[in-house]
Structure 1
């Protein structure tokens, strides 16, 4: 039901001098045009000596609207401009309610409007002439165009003394301006007292000679027969040039297609995506094919996402979108708050985590292999158990301490010893022998593992450990993470240094810096670039994540393409194509790298260096044996001298 928030005073006027307009036709047209609107604002733009005619037209139209059954909430605003001086015949407008024609809004029309206009607000302007509306647009831009993707209608009251051709040229100039400056596509214009029942609609995606855009007019009968004429479709852009910002970024946007993908039908012709592969490039190609536009990619555009500097200036692709130099920032970016207005995010179609990447820990020297068999607690328990065994054997054997130590040591290390145990001593000695078998079995297995696979010192796996490492942190993510409540993150921010384009190489080579980046990028870099010939990663990604973000692209604020882009992007995401395209590139690069490593692999002969730990242990055993042998000789000589 129609609700009125504010109603103007009604002027009674002489209908004999009025310009008669078919009222039912107008109502039917407005109802079809404002199909997705539930809050309609009527702006009555007053102008000096033309006030009465404009006011009378508005009141008559409102009376007509009150007779209709619409689900609109109606708001009426009255705005005054400087006086209007005109030599045109000033006639009032009356609406004839004798027509019963209807416009059938089909499902196809609803789909077209759904992807070109946002439901909610609609705006109807009643004003004297196109010139006055341009004046209104100059001085009250926010009132003239509150939101770009809303539904608009303009009713000019200018009388028929002006030829329709002149009015048409003025309307075309206005429509071109509304498209160029505000990207309006859901707007119709009528001038009933100058151009009778003509409804003017601007088609920005129709090419005429060397330019784009044309003004078309339709009668009510034509619209009744073909209601799709009311909609400017974004489903087919007729090769309209759309400026796309897309730079190379492994693995989501790359121009050098991996060899394994060159024979894949999807990657054989990348002309629609401007020779870009990866999920970002193929998504652009999908948009081009689905919406039939021409993607214009500047090869000299900045190769960074862009952010807002402390002085308020903006750099990168973000600056191009804000300044209206790009219609679509195609490289998917972190969906976060930016302290600027003038752009919008598309629907989120992926997510990623923020993780720290640290240098790979050092190898454990071969000579220390035996100490890696157990952790510190295990070694402590082994010595404690040995001490308890000595103490217990000392109590039950009733021998001197020296013999007790020698006997238990021999049992624990597997040496032969002459003992004639009693029945209850047998159980204890058997348990000591089993303990010896288990411990030495574990040591032998660990030594074998160490000989076959290199071992490393413990890795950094928590954000707290990253902080304790006291290493400087190279990252950009503090521009996106606005949370200042975490003391841990604040300490990490203090350690930050400017990022570098080759920060992964710096972390892997110098091992004196930490980097924080998107987890997917880190994983891909480690798997495809920073893995040694022996298959060991040169970088280590901390297991604990710092934050989680959604990923999307950007368009200028009020972009007419946003709703249609969102529809295509959502379909690709729900179909699993985004993930599939990412996996194609990553797996192909990995296979290529493995093939190169295999072809370049050189075999070397087994050397003593590979088993040096065994020689160290054997040498220690020989030294201990010599010391024990010399000790026994010295002991025997000492005894002989006493006797």
Structure 2
């Protein structure tokens, strides 16, 4: 150990003389203290530094620094220590300080914005407001309101801000800020109470009008007025603490050394750094218990434990008496203190809710059974043993992110109050509608939420007129669209499949060019100038026609014109044949693979054109029904004027939809569920959903109107959207695209097997050929019998 008093002109480049020393005590100014510490870092000397005030504290695990702070000048040092020890881990701060305090502490602002790479101190972006403490009465309150109103939150946004108040008017500031709704869950408030020796300070009385959710802490001055803080006394205390710590460590080492061998001692003995750490801890413990003059200045820190107290499960609520005030659920706890000797000694965070949110308390949560949003499974005693569904998954993630557990309370409802579908099982024969709705909230849920006894109502509810409701909606967790269900259009008959590749105009042109090309070929062959160029097989129009027709069917021909003119006609005809046959075959494959359907109802505006649909249905209690009252779409009003409102499976009359006489409007996911159920039962697609989706219905959860946590919940729901959690839960719980969807239909087309419906046209063409051949054969027979044979008889008779 070396005792040094104000070393002068030390050269940092000379050989370091401290490599053999375990600890050193220095009494010097802040700059020399830090220089000595940096020079002794290589040799690892435990530094006990007594220095002047307003000095950034040395690393707490490597040194002990005691700034000599005068009474009333503690604020700069407190702020520096708060930043070094991350008691106030802020990046920005709004500081309200009395002008008189600022005049007495010239370096206060410098301490707030101080930054250091050595101590990893980040600078604080500062907004400073000087309070004119000469004002009194209404002028003072007006000036404070004008200053605070600039940071008041808006209705739809709560900015997260930090406020540091060093003022004698802290009670007025709290009162005015409360009227501006500035004590919400995102803000942090640190108040320095300037009254001397406030051991009787009642934080509950000062925060009488605050609601829960506030993050507020008080620093209370407990400096003893008769304490004598002198340099010599401090040096004596620190020296005695160091000697006592070394003696204690030496005794412990000797007790161990006497029990083991030298070899074992060499392997387990403390290193120099371990010795210093042990001495430092012993010194801190000694000074905490025995210091009398090195820690005269003392500030106690109290913080409020407020979050979730009114919604905490009754089983876990504290037995403390409840005050008749807004802050009746506040619990102020002593988290530690500050002294020049040790800085901040805290066993709790200054603002524990910012870091730990609800601190793992058990909250009461209200819910009802409503698949697929809330699916509750109960045991034989009616106790909820399992819960799932979209809303429940969101609740579980909120519980994890906000650090709370929850106890579910089911709001029992009368059937006539609200009817929830309780099953998706298609085999059940109950007269219940498939799917669910969220437009009508059970009255019991609204009644229980109004008392502010539940943290949240984990129910899916349609967002409607939020300003007129006795509760608040969270950010929407889902958007459901409406659509309609009809009979799937019948497939167009394929009996005329072989005529489908060409239009009637194309077929007419094809017949025309055949009738034109055959005479043209006959004329060119007949008008050849030389007899040897004329082909006997093309000497009649009939033979030319069959030649052209055979070439069209790619049968070829027995004859080829000898004249160049004839060859040109035949050559260009074959070019036409190649194009016609290739086009026809390609289109025939496409028409054979992809079936064609009769026109269906794709959009609601097409309903009036389908006279076969005579019944219109709409589920009872939908948001669509109210939406139509304010819409300008005529097709919606036309539908509602003819719609039958149904509330049961019998009224839904899905068989009429299957037969093509009825159309129903519902959520698209509910209609997908109907299609899926009937496909699993009938193994065929009999329904079609409209291509049009309309009326976005927003689905959200419910929180009490007095809840302080609405913006907090919304912020985390938004995070779940951005991370894709909610989309994944939708895919998991809501009906997905089934085998009757477009993608599945495409897979069926890819694996399509040609059946009798596809080939019936082919066989009919063959049958038509047989019939025509028989008719032509009969004509040839009768022609030969009545004309050829009769002419032969006449010629014989004439010869005789």
**TM-score range normalised by the length of the shorter chain:** 0.5 to 0.7
* Counterpart in the other structure of 2:486: 358
Matched, 1:204 2:345: no
In the alignment, the residues of structure 1 paired with residue 461 and residue 567 of structure 2 have an alpha-carbon distance, to the nearest angstrom, of 77
Alignment counterpart, residue 73 of structure 1, candidates 131, 138, 149: 149
Equivalent pair of 2:367/2:458 in contact (CA under 8 Å): yes
Q: How does 1:139-538 map to 2 (within 5 A)?
A: 203-205=309-311, 215=322, 235-236=358-359, 238-249=361-372, 252-254=373-375, 275-289=386-400, 290-298=403-411, 300=413, 302-304=418-420, 316-317=440-441, 319-325=443-449, 328-332=456-460, 335=463, 337=465, 340-365=468-493, 367-370=495-498, 373-374=500-501, 378-391=503-516, 393-395=518-520, 397-398=522-523, 408-413=548-553, 420-421=560-561, 422-438=566-582, 441-442=585-586, 445=589, 449=593, 456-470=597-611, 471=613, 472-474=616-618, 476=622, 477-480=624-627, 484-500=631-647, 502=649, 503=652, 505-506=654-655, 509-523=658-672, 526=675, 528-531=676-679, 537-538=685-686
Instruction: Describe the shift of the 1:630–1:148 C-alpha distance in structure 2 as closer, same or farther (beyond 3 A).
Output: farther
Deviations 1:489-516 (A, max 9, x none): 3333334332455559457633322233
Per the alignment, residue 55 of structure 1 pairs with none
Residue of structure 1 equivalent to 2:61? none
- Whether the 8 Å CA contact 2:439–2:461 is kept in 1: the answer is no
What SS class does the counterpart of residue 367 from structure 2 fall into?
strand
Aligned to 1:600: none
Deviation at 1:487, TM superposition (A): 2.9
8 Å Cα contact 1:413/1:436 also seen in 2: no
Change (3 A) 1:387 1:324: farther
In structure 1, the partner of 2:433 is none
Give the 3 Å change call, closer, same or farther, for CA 496–340 of structure 1 in structure 2.
Answer: farther
Q: Could you say if the C-alpha distance between residues 218 and 236 of structure 1 is closer, same or farther in structure 2, counting changes exceeding 3 Å?
A: closer
The verdict on how the C-alpha distance between 1:291 and 1:227 changes in structure 2, with shifts beyond 3 A counting, is: closer
**Does the CA contact (< 8 Å) of 2:479 and 2:696 recur in 1?**
yes
* Per-residue deviation, 1:125: 8.4
| Cα contact 1:273–1:285 (8 A) shared by 2 | no
Aligned-residue RMSD, C-alpha:
5.9
**How many residues are matched?**
468
TM-score by length of 1: 0.55
Q: Determine helix, strand or coil for the equivalent of 1:583.
A: helix
Q: Deviations over 1:566-586 (max 9, x none)?
A: 233223222211122233446
Ranked by relative contact order (alpha carbons within 8 Å, sequence separation 6 or more), the top structure is 1
Q: Which runs of 5+ in 1 are unaligned?
A: 1-31, 39-58, 75-108, 113-121, 127-142, 152-163, 189-197, 258-270, 306-313, 592-605
- Higher radius of gyration, 1 or 2: 2
Q: Distance in 1 between matches of 2:736 and 2:486?
A: 26
Q: Give ranges in structure 2 of 5+ residues lacking alignment.
A: 1-87, 95-134, 151-159, 164-172, 188-199, 217-301, 323-329, 339-345, 422-437, 527-539, 740-753, 792-800
* 2:386 counterpart SS class: coil
CA contact (8 A) 2:369 2:376 kept: no
Name the SS of the counterpart of 1:515 in structure 2: strand
**1:396-419 per-position Cα deviation (integer Å, ceiling 9, x unaligned):** 644998777666555445567666
Question: Structure 1 residues 145, 426: closer, same or farther in 2, change over 3 A?
Answer: same
Provide the rounded CA distance (Å) in 2 between the counterparts of 1:545 and 1:424.
60
Given that 2:313 and 2:407 are in contact with CA atoms closer than 8 Å, whether structure 1 keeps it comes out as no
What is the SS of the residue equivalent to 1:498? strand
- Match of 2:666, SS state, is strand
8 Å contact 1:359–1:511 — kept in the other structure?
yes
Measure, in 2, the Cα distance between the counterparts of 1:223 and 1:624.
Answer: 112
